[in-house]
Structure 1
């Protein structure tokens, strides 16, 4: 169980890095293949993983499949809302989703820390 929490914590750290770099490259306005790959990796993994990490799934493969499916669903709903409201701002949507995902990932990192040996919090 502790090994699973450790793996999930490190995954959350990695996805926080992806969120940070995505926001940084979008706000700077860099147009490189690196941005394309990074944004695609973010859009396909981080939002869903940030949500599915609250569900106690025992198998890593099920967690990742669910995370990708949930990420794509969240992105489709967000894109549909932008189309319906005639407010097509995909860069702002990516930044907003990255900020929301980051908040959930930080909470996940904090709650999955191992307990301290001295009993203090």
Structure 2
């Protein structure tokens, strides 16, 4: 159980870094091939993982498959909402998604910390 929480915490830290890097690249309007890659990683993993990790799934492969499917679904729904409302602002949507996902990931980092004194054993 402790090992699983450690892996979730490390994953949350990595995806939190992806969220932060995405916000920095977009806010400073840095046109680099890295930007497309980071946004792609964000939209194919982070939102779904941040949500699916609240569910106690025993198999890592099921967690990641579900995370990717949920992330892509969230991206499609957001894009559809922008099209239907005639408010096409993809950069704002990406930053908003990164911030919302980052908040959930920060919660995962906090809740998956080992109990105090567990590392001393």
- Note whether the superposition's TM-score is higher than 0.5: yes
Q: By how many angstroms is 1:32 displaced?
A: 1.0
Residue 45 of structure 1 pairs with residue 45 of structure 2: yes
Residue 5 of structure 1 pairs with residue 5 of structure 2: yes
Cα distance in structure 1, aligned partners of 2:109 and 2:58: 18
1:13-24 correspondence to structure 2 within 5 Å: 13-24=13-24
1:58-73 correspondence to structure 2 within 5 Å: 58-73=58-73
* Aligned residue number for residue 94 of structure 1: 94
Cα distance in structure 2, aligned partners of 1:38 and 1:77: 20
Q: Secondary structure at the match of 2:101?
A: helix
* Aligned residue number for residue 29 of structure 2: 29
What number of residue pairs does the alignment pair up? 118
The Cα RMSD (Å) is 0.9
Cα distance in structure 2, aligned partners of 1:38 and 1:81: 23
Q: Secondary structure at the match of 1:58?
A: coil
Q: Secondary structure at the match of 1:5?
A: helix
Q: Secondary structure at the match of 1:114?
A: coil
Q: Alpha-carbon deviations, 1:81-103, whole Å to 9, x = none? A: 00000000000000000000000
Q: Which runs of 5+ in 2 are unaligned?
A: none
* Aligned residue number for residue 117 of structure 1: 117
Q: By how many angstroms is 1:8 displaced?
A: 0.5
Superposed structure 1 runs of 4+ greater than 3 Å apart: none
* Aligned residue number for residue 79 of structure 2: 79
Q: By how many angstroms is 1:117 displaced?
A: 1.9
